[in-house]
Amino acid sequence: MEPLIIILVCLTCSYLMGELFESIKLPRVLGSLIVGLILGLPVVQFFFFEDQNTLSLFGTFAKLGLIFLMFYMGLMIDVLDFEHTTKRSLYISIFSTLLPFLLGFIFLRAIQPSNIVAFIGGVCLAITEETISLEILKEVSLLHTPFGQTILASGALGDIFEALSISVLVTWIHSLQNPSAGFLTILINIGVFFVLIYGARFFIIPAVLKFVGRHHRSKTDLYVISLILALFMALLSEKLTLGKEIGALLAGMIVRYSLI
C-alpha cells in the first residue's frame, strides 16, 4: 500500500478514536494507542506493510516522533522548580523504575542461573513511556502545576536510569564477545556526552545565536535551530549507547534556557 494512504488512514483513525474516547471522558491518547495496537497485529500489518521499505519508513517516523516528544518534555521541565521537587520525583522514580527492575532481576535470578538474562528481564520490566504521561497531563491541564512538574521530573530520572541500564546491558554483551571491552566504555561515553552538552550549552549555541543574530532572528530560525539541536543530541547520545531519548530530553532543557 502507498505510504501516503497509510498515513491518511493512521491519522484519520487516530483522530476519530481520540474523539470517541474524549466523548466518554477518557484521555484522547488512548485512541492513538489502540490504533497503534491494531496496526501492530500481524494480519493488519501484513495488509498495510507488505513492503519492507514502507515498514522501515514508518519505523523512522516513529523514532522521529519519540525524539520530538522527548524534546518537548525537556522544554516543559522547569529546572528551577526541579530543585523543589527532586525528593518527591526521586521517590516516584524509584518505585516506578528501580523497584520493578529489582523485582524482575531477583525473580528471574531465582528461577535460572544466568545473571545477564535476569538483568535483561529487569530492564524490560523497568522501561516506561513517559510521553503518555506528558500527553495526559497536557489534556487535563496539569502540565504546569507542581504535580505535573513532579511527574515530568520523575519521568526524566526514570528515563536516565533506563538509558544507563540499557548501556550497561549492551556493554555487558559486548564484553562477553570481546573481553577487552569493559564497563570503562560506559563511563567514557557518559563523560564525553556531558562534556559535549556543556560545550553546546555554553559555547556552540551562543556562537550560533551570534551568527544568526540574537535580536533579529525569526520564529522560523528558532524552530530550525531547535530541530537541529534535538536531532544532533539524539543522534549523539544514541551513538554513545546512552539512548536517543536522553539526548532529545536534554536538548529540550538546553533550548528552554538558551534560545527561548
- CB burial of 124-149 (b: ≥16 within 10 Å; e: otherwise) equals ebbebebbbbbbbbbeeeebeeeebb
Residue 247 and residue 136 share a domain: yes
Residue 234 and residue 244 share a domain: yes
Neighbours of 55 (CB within 10 A): 13
**Cα–Cα distance between 111 and 57 in angstroms, integer?**
40
Note the helical H segments in the chain.
3-23, 29-39, 42-48, 52-76, 79-93, 99-111, 115-126, 130-139, 146-177, 184-199, 205-212, 219-239, 244-258
User: What's residue 12's pLDDT?
Assistant: 92
Residue 127 and residue 95 share a domain: yes
The DSSP 8-state label assigned to residue 204 in this structure reads I
Tally the domains of the chain: 2
User: What's residue 16's pLDDT?
Assistant: 92
Q: Is 35 left (phi over 0), alpha (psi -120 to 50) or beta?
A: alpha
Q: Is the model's pLDDT at 171 over the cut of 70?
A: no
Residue 156 and residue 238 share a domain: yes
Q: Is the model's pLDDT at 148 over the cut of 70?
A: yes
In which domain, by residue range, is 13 found? 3-74
pLDDT band of 121, cuts 50, 70, 90: confident
Neighbours of 183 (CB within 10 A): 12
**What integer is the mean pLDDT of 172-198?**
69
Q: Is the model's pLDDT at 24 over the cut of 80?
A: yes
Residue 170 and residue 51 share a domain: no
Per the prediction, the chain carries an average pLDDT of 76
Cell numbers linked to 216: 533579529
pLDDT band of 70, cuts 50, 70, 90: confident
Q: Assign residue 249 the CATH number of its domain.
A: 1.20.1530.20
User: What's residue 204's pLDDT?
Assistant: 75
Residue 80 and residue 67 share a domain: no
Residue 204 and residue 98 share a domain: yes
Residues sharing a CB contact under 8 Å with residue 247, sequence separation 6 or more, in sequence order: 193, 230, 233, 234, 235, 236, 237, 238
Q: Is the model's pLDDT at 38 over the cut of 80?
A: yes
**What integer is the mean pLDDT of 32-44?**
83
**Cα–Cα distance between 154 and 88 in angstroms, integer?**
8
For residue 134, the one-letter residue type is L
Residue 121 and residue 28 share a domain: no
**Cα–Cα distance between 241 and 53 in angstroms, integer?**
26
User: What's residue 129's pLDDT?
Assistant: 62
User: What's residue 239's pLDDT?
Assistant: 82
pLDDT band of 260, cuts 50, 70, 90: low
Percent of the chain at pLDDT exceeding 70: 76
**Cα–Cα distance between 224 and 59 in angstroms, integer?**
23
Residue 92 and residue 48 share a domain: no
Q: Is the model's pLDDT at 217 over the cut of 70?
A: no
pLDDT band of 180, cuts 50, 70, 90: low
Look at 89-93, 161-165, 177-181, 200-204 and tell me which has the smallest mean pLDDT: 177-181
Q: Is the model's pLDDT at 175 over the cut of 70?
A: no
Residue 87 and residue 183 share a domain: yes
Q: Which residue has the higher pLDDT, 230 or 170?
A: 230
